[in-house]
Chain A
Amino acid sequence: MSGSFDPSLEAAPGYSFTARTAFTVALLAVLALLPAYAAWSGNAFVLTLFTRVLILALGAVSLNLIMGYGGMVSFGHAAYLGVGGYAVGILAREGVDSGFVQWPAAIAAAALYALVVGALSLRTRGVYFIMITLAFAQMIYYVAIGLDRYGGDDGLTIYRRSQFGGLLDLNNKTVFYYLCFAFLLGGIYLVARIVNSRFGLVIRGTRSNERRMHAIGFATFRYKLVCFVIAGALCGLAGALLANHTNFISPALMHWTRSGDLIVMVVLGGLGSLFGPLIGAAVFLLLEEGLSRLTEYPDLILGPLLLLVAIYAHGGIEGLLKRRSRD
């Protein structure tokens, strides 16, 4: 029947096998088998690159929750990566290297920061919201520069990755890769549950028509704020992973161009689709990597590509696949 391609039902179990599902399954299979390939080929770099893809994909998943489903275009999302990363880095510098402390601290700090930013910025709409989230991110960027004890402008090296009491050895690249993969899948599953729950429908209804939401009796602000905090917490976790991945934190982690990258990933992959952010992050980072080998100016190619997506493919890559599978 005509309602069968309702994107709102995409998390429903047992949807038919389409080009889109095939692509998603293939991508997940590649990601799952990647460490084996890296070991077989002796190419450690590919594992490092894809670990980065997974981590930034988690950040994009988090941004997609508020931007794709909630219509809140946050132009300061890298700040949560930064807050999460700095929580890990600062604790490590102060001699606390237990991951059981560091990671919850990263999540909590990012959530708290999101609460403050959200409480103030969600009172505005459209361009003003974008500008305020950007302003907050810039502010915290300069705060990080001012943290002399933690490296200031130069950043801070993390000499020991988060310790999990012998349970997990994050120095093992394969272990770390699978941990990131698990967190990413967990994050996607979490978003899938949320967007189809009562809470999620409120968020999506608010994106679609906030005035009507008020008229039928919803106080939308508190739902948006909670959604904003959830996204911030999730991105804080990505920040903790990123700090461990690079063994280094610096203000560059939350530079506004990084926030832009996250938006690009989400738009490229497909706004408001569950696996879109992962697809977007993979395509973006692999293109960036590949192009930077070919040319000194990868943006010259990435830029126009993004323009094409913005003009011709509103649903992003996910949307293109969906359209194909509809035929």
Chain B
Amino acid sequence: MTEPLLRIERLTRRFGGVLAADTITLDIAREEVHAVIGPNGAGKTTLIGLVAGEIAPQEGSVRFDGGDITRLPAHRRSRLGLARSFQITSLFRDFTALDNVALAVQAHRDHSFRFWRDARNEDELRKPALEALARVGLAERAGVRVERLSHGEHRQLEIAMALATQPRLLLLDEPMAGMGPEESAQMVRLLQGLKGRMTILLIEHDMEAVFALADRLTVLVYGRIIASGPPEAIRADAAVREAYLGEQGSGKGGARHG
């Protein structure tokens, strides 16, 4: 049996008295799309932070592709093939879309102690960056500065930057956050196109998107996993319905699928 790409064991992180991650144990198999759902404040973004290396756990371990990465800083993890997107758009605002992605490409090309040549004329960086932009449908907007892009375009750019590093594991923190139905549908199509090419850990509130994409689902409540399994099983799980899907019954999302 092949080892899962990501193996999280008894991962724990407290912020003051709050347990944001409570002995989380989770395997992500190669090339699966694994969605993590849960109410606000369940610790989903903390989980991404722990896996990406931005937050240090107090207990537990993270293994990536067989190696222990628990103590590795974020930039080293990125170089191993972990890429994340941010829930709250986190871009280089005074750069163009292409500059943003090219910088991500550059990060994975040996070192950047090159002081003389204009990096904006380097095909080695611009071409892969343009390809990543094209992949998310932003090729036309390559020369536009980030602050002039729309919210939906920011979200697409988030994905393009993550893709540009050619990750093996993509950590997506609510890629559809703040998007309208049409933009969301477009994003779902984009992510479906990535399915099978890389492993994806997806955090998302949009249940329609989650059920359209995920091979497996994990439900997080107050930092704890209360259920994990294929979508049908999660949908049928009584505890989940009570803790999460049911709770949103009156609102959007859950009830339609529940």
Q: List the interface of chain A (C-beta within 8 A of B).
A: 1-3, 6-9, 11-12, 193-194, 196-202, 204-205, 208-209, 211-220, 223, 226
**Nearest CB on A from B231, distance (A):** 29
Give complex CA distance A216, B108 in Å: 8
Q: Which residues of B contact A9 (CB under 8 A)?
A: 120
Task: Check if B54 sits within 8 Å of A201, measured CB to CB.
Answer: no
B64 at the interface (CB under 8 A from A): no
Q: 6 additional contacts, CB 8 Å, given A211-B54, A216-B83?
A: A3-B145, A196-B118, A199-B114, A202-B106, A212-B90, A214-B54
Contact with A along B101-145 (1 / 0, CB 8 A): 011101110001111111110100100000000000000000111
Q: Which residues of A contact B79 (CB under 8 A)?
A: 217
Task: Check if A216 sits within 8 Å of B104, measured CB to CB.
Answer: yes
Q: Which residues of B contact A198 (CB under 8 A)?
A: 106, 112-114, 117, 119, 122, 125
Q: Are A205 and B103 also in contact (CB < 8 A) when A2-B148, A212-B92, A214-B54 are? A: yes
Q: Which residues of B contact A216 (CB under 8 A)?
A: 78, 83, 103-104, 107, 161, 164-165
- By beta carbon, the residue of chain A nearest B74 is A214
Q: Which residues of B contact A7 (CB under 8 A)?
A: 94
B202 at the interface (CB under 8 A from A): no
B96 at the interface (CB under 8 A from A): yes
Interface residues on B, range: 35 or more
**Nearest CB on B from A18, distance (A):** 18
Task: Check if A201 sits within 8 Å of B99, measured CB to CB.
Answer: yes
Contact with A along B82-106 (1 / 0, CB 8 A): 0110100011111110010011101
Task: List the 4 closest A-B pairs by CB distance, nearest first.
Answer: A217-B78, A217-B107, A214-B74, A198-B114
Q: List the interface of chain B (C-beta within 8 A of A).
A: 52, 54, 73-76, 78-79, 83-84, 86, 90-96, 99, 102-104, 106-108, 112-120, 122, 125, 143-145, 148, 161, 164-165
Task: Check if A208 sits within 8 Å of B95, measured CB to CB.
Answer: yes
Residue from the list B75, B103, B114, B125 in contact with A214, Cβ < 8 A: B75
Q: Which residues of B contact A1 (CB under 8 A)?
A: 143-144
Task: Check if A197 sits within 8 Å of B116, measured CB to CB.
Answer: yes
- By beta carbon, the residue of chain A nearest B164 is A216
Task: Check if B119 sits within 8 Å of A217, measured CB to CB.
Answer: no
Give complex CA distance A2, B97 in Å: 12
Task: Check if B54 sits within 8 Å of A218, measured CB to CB.
Answer: no
**Nearest CB on A from B189, distance (A):** 25
Task: Check if A3 sits within 8 Å of B144, measured CB to CB.
Answer: yes
- By beta carbon, the residue of chain A nearest B78 is A217
Q: Which residues of B contact A200 (CB under 8 A)?
A: 115, 119
**Nearest CB on A from B49, distance (A):** 10
Residue of A198, A202, A208 contacting most chain B CB atoms (<10 Å): A198
Task: Check if A218 sits within 8 Å of B114, measured CB to CB.
Answer: no
Enumerate 30 A-B pairs (CB-CB under 8 Å) in ascending A order. Answer: A2-B144, A2-B148, A3-B143, A6-B96, A8-B96, A193-B115, A197-B115, A198-B112, A198-B113, A199-B112, A202-B103, A204-B95, A208-B93, A208-B94, A209-B90, A209-B92, A209-B93, A212-B90, A212-B92, A214-B73, A215-B75, A215-B83, A215-B90, A216-B78, A217-B78, A217-B165, A218-B75, A219-B73, A219-B75, A219-B76
